[in-house]
Chain A
């Protein structure tokens, strides 16, 4: 499957919520979409293109914006594809993919606690790697290395 195939299959479903498909090394292509079309895109990719397995979800903090990306795998094509969208830094939220691929659950919890991207309608949004009550999102660019004592004060038992 080539990037053009992805674009041709997704264009009728998403319209202008599909920002474009570009080649990406080792995958069928990288789909860039608007967050308004997230759920439509997930359903189309899973049900019609056959990408049944969500391999990972991740987030990147590009200071001026945040990016969230989903790596999906198709057993039939034996190919990965990447779905990614840009979010404004001051309003970083996107619809959760947990309803489409259940494996998104923990990945989205991790993405939320590391780079502070909110996933709407997530069934169980809690800390995954950090203790409850942890006060930071440590993979944000604005996170500074703290003195150990300062971390201790801000990480209380709950």
Chain B
């Protein structure tokens, strides 16, 4: 303690950098690439053995399902398919202000690359066959969000001769988002609820 009452910490006694000799870097006897190849060669059977014993111990579903669910819910790829005015809000949700990409949601242009179908708008009977085709082209596992009142139950066009009264007549729906059209916040909320569903998924 000094006279003024401050605590003075003692300096570390050994500051080794100044006088010590630096290690000499030499060329390895075996080139780097070959070392890496060797490591991989050894790693793969070892990892395989460890994983096999772990699966035998814990059960496959219990071990792998959480990993799949974690990966799936953090990389939901919706189909870039706009049907009606809800598609404007859908587009706004991917813009700078709401930025749905921070949840790993990236719209893709091909159903083969998607695992999420966001039905954003009025579905007519004429387009219903295309919707079913797109849904069938998506690889498993896949989810469907009915966005807006039209996709949920036909909306104001429910009794019209040309409108499907709710997209759940055509494909199974996981999350319904109300609104006409829903705000981008509501769409993000729907996506987060779907992520919750995937988190709780058992099989």
Contact = CB atoms under 8 A, between A and B. Distances in A.
Could you tell me the dominant secondary structure of chain A's interface residues?
A: loop
* Most chain B beta-carbon neighbours within 10 Å: one of A138, A145, A151: A151
Contact of A138 (B126, B154, B162): B162
A146 interface: yes
A155 B125 contact: yes
A131 B127 CA distance: 8
Given A148-B154, A148-B165, A130 B125 contact: yes
Interface residues of A, number: 14
Nearest to A155: B125
A129 B162 contact: yes
Interface in B130-174: 132, 154, 158-159, 161-162, 164-166, 169
Interface of B: 125-126, 128-129, 132, 154, 158-159, 161-162, 164-166, 169
Interface of A: 129-131, 134, 136, 138, 143, 145-146, 148, 151-152, 155, 157
27 contacts: A129-B126, A130-B125, A130-B126, A130-B162, A131-B125, A131-B126, A131-B128, A131-B129, A136-B161, A138-B161, A138-B162, A145-B161, A146-B159, A146-B161, A148-B154, A148-B158, A148-B159, A148-B165, A148-B166, A151-B125, A151-B165, A152-B164, A152-B165, A155-B125, A157-B128, A157-B129, A157-B132
